[in-house]
Amino acid sequence: MKITCLDKQVGQFLKESFYRIPRFQRPYSWDRTNIEEFWNDAVVENEAQYFIGSFVVYDDKTAMGVVDGQQRLTTITLLLCALRNAFEREGFSNLAKGIHGLIERTDISDQRFYILQTESSYPYLQEHIQKFGGKPGAGSDAGPEEQLLKQAFEYFQTNVDDVVKAIKLQPNLSEAKKRARIQDELTRIRDKVLNLKLIFTALENDEDAYVIFETLNTRGKDLTLSDLVKSHLSRLLKPTNTGVDLAKDKWNKIHQTFEAAQDDLSVMQHYENHELKTKHVRAILSAIENFHFAFTAIASQRSSGGISFMYALAARELYQAKGAEAKVKGLQEFQKNKLAAKLPQYAEFEPSFLALKYSSQMTKQRPLVRYILTKIYQRNSSGLPIDADQATVEHLAPENPVKSTGLLPEQVASIGNLILVNQALNNDLANKSFPDKVQILQKAHVWVDPIVLNAKGWGAPEINARAKLLAEDAYKNVWTV
C-alpha cells in the first residue's frame, strides 16, 4: 500500500481535483451541534490557519474518491455556497463567480462538473444548493440526508446574513462604506475557509481505500456498524458495469426501509433513558422475533403497511405513556393484543414448516433450518449451550447411504430428518445406519428429541411424523408471542 501525505489548504485542495463520494460511504450525517462546532472553529475563533485534520482520497479515474473527510468536505461546500449567494445578493457578482469556481468548473474536456460529486443526496444537493441560483428550500423533503443538508446550509446562510445585516444597521456608516465593509467581511470569512489547513493523504486505488475506511472515523460522528457492513459489501460486490450498481441500489432500499421503520426500535431509546428494564426489553424483542418467525419466515405473509402502522402506533403510544409502569403495561398490551392477534393460524403455519428442506443439493433454506434447530436445541438442552456457528446439520437418513433407504431426495432433506450436532459428532455419525446413529447419540450425552431416540426404524413415515411434531412444538412452545 503506497500512501502520499502533503500539507495543503482548503482552497488549494478544491482547485486541484474533483472529489467523488464513493459507494461505500454513508450519507451526510452532521447535525446542528457538528455544524455549530465547525462554524466556531473555522470562522469565529479562527485567528490563524486552523487545522481541520486529514483528508484521505484515492485515484478514481475522473475524480478522487473520498475515504475520510466526506462530512467536512460537504460542510465546506455548503458554507461556500452560502457565501457565494451572499456575494451575489449584495451585488458582488465577480466574487460570487469566483467562489462558484470552487463549487463547479469544467474539466479538461470542457465538461462542467461539481467539484464535490455525490449520489446519495442527488438531486437535492446539486440542484438546490450547489447550483448557482438554486432554491435550497425546495425539494428538501426527500429524506433524512436532505433535511440535514438543508439545516446545515440554512445555519450558514443565517450566520452570513447576520454579518451583512449587522453592518447595514450601523448608523454612522455611509452606504458606500457599508458596501465596502460587507465586501471585506464576506471576503474575510471566505479567506478563513479557504486557508484552513489539512493533511492531504492520497492512496493508489479503491482496494486500499476500503482497508483505510474501515479503520477511520470522521471528525463529527463515529462510523456505525451499518457503515462498516456497507463498506465490506461494497468491497466484495463490485459493479460489473460502470452505469449499473445493483449492490448499491439494493443497499439503499434496505437503508430506506430501516429509516422508514425507525419508530419500531423506539423501545431501545426508552431503555437507554432508563425508562425500561432489561427484562422488559428482552420480553418485547423476543416477542417481536417470534412473531416475525411465524408471520414472515414461515407463513411468508407480507409485512404490509398495516404492520408498519402497527409498529408506528405502538412507538407513539410508548413515547406518550407517562412513567415506567405505564410503558411496561403498554408493551404487554401490544404483545397480547397486536402481535398475538396477528399471528398466522396453525393451519397456515404447519404446511410451510413441513416444506422446510436442507441438503447439499437444496441449500436455499439452510440458514433458516439452522436457526430453527438451534432454537429447539437451546430450549430443550440442559447441558452446555451449543455453539451455533460451529454446529452442523446432520441427516438421520444419510444423503449418501451405503445401502438404499428408498427415500426420495426431498424426504432426506426434510426438516423431520435433520438434527443439530457439533462437527466431531457429525464425523462419527457419517453414513452409519440409523440404529448405530442412535447408539452414538446416546453415548455422546447430547440432547436429541425422544422421537428419534425411541424410533424402531427410520423411513418416510417417521420423518413425516417427526416434522409434524416439530412444527407443533415450534408453534406452541418455542416461538410463542
Per residue, the 3-state secondary structure of 233-292, as one string, reads: HHHHCCCCECCECHHHHHHHHHHHHHHHCHHHHHHHHHHHCCCCCHHHHHHHHHHHHHHH
> Which H or E run contains 54?
strand 51-60
On the question of pLDDT at 263 being above 50, the answer is no
Residue 402's pLDDT band, with cuts at 50, 70 and 90, is confident
CA distances from 111 to 15, 107, 391 (A): 16, 5, 58
Instruction: Specify the pLDDT at position 378.
Output: 86
The torsion region of residue 157 among left (phi > 0), alpha (psi -120 to 50) and beta comes to alpha
CA distance 404 to 420: 23
> Which H or E run contains 104?
strand 104-106
Looking at residue 449, its amino acid is D
**Domain boundaries in the chain?**
3-251, 262-344, 352-478
CA distances from 286 to 304, 375, 480 (A): 21, 12, 9
Looking at residue 259, its amino acid is E
Is residue 27 reached through a cis peptide bond, with omega within 30 degrees of 0 on the bond before it?
no
Instruction: Specify the pLDDT at position 206.
Output: 57
Residue 309's pLDDT band, with cuts at 50, 70 and 90, is confident
At 105-163, the pLDDT tens digits run: 999 999 999 999 987 788 889 999 999 988 776 655 567 888 899 999 999 999 999 99
Contact by Cβ (8 Å): 428, 462: no
DSSP bridge pairs for 419:
394
Q: Is pLDDT larger for residue 365 or for residue 242?
A: 365
CA distance 238 to 248: 9
Neighbours of 129 (CB within 10 A): 25
Residue 258's pLDDT band, with cuts at 50, 70 and 90, is low
> How is residue 314 written as a grid cell?
405502538
CA distance 460 to 380: 25
Smallest CA-to-CA distance from 15 within 78, 100, 134 is with 100
At 207-233, the pLDDT tens digits run: 554 555 545 544 444 545 455 555 556
CA distance 337 to 191: 62
CA distance 474 to 478: 5
Q: What angle do CA 243, 247, 248 make, to 5 degrees?
A: 70
Q: What rounded mean pLDDT belongs to the chain?
A: 84
Beta strands, E only, 347-466: 392-395, 418-421
Q: Residue 4: helix, strand or coil by DSSP?
A: strand
On the question of pLDDT at 88 being above 90, the answer is yes
At 353-392, the pLDDT tens digits run: 999 999 988 888 988 999 999 999 888 877 656 666 678 8
Residue 97's pLDDT band, with cuts at 50, 70 and 90, is very high
Average of per-residue pLDDT across 32-39: 90
Instruction: Specify the pLDDT at position 2.
Output: 63
Contact by Cβ (8 Å): 80, 107: no
Please give the model's pTM, rounded to 2 decimal places. 0.48
Neighbours of 293 (CB within 10 A): 21
DSSP bridge pairs for 197:
9, 51
Neighbours of 406 (CB within 10 A): 10
CA distance 111 to 62: 12
Q: Residue 20: helix, strand or coil by DSSP?
A: strand
Q: Residue 365: helix, strand or coil by DSSP?
A: coil
Q: Residue 19: helix, strand or coil by DSSP?
A: strand
CA distance 311 to 305: 10
CA distance 212 to 5: 14
Looking at residue 324, its amino acid is A
As a whole number of Å, the CA-based R_g of the chain is: 31
Neighbours of 152 (CB within 10 A): 25
Instruction: Specify the pLDDT at position 264.
Output: 46
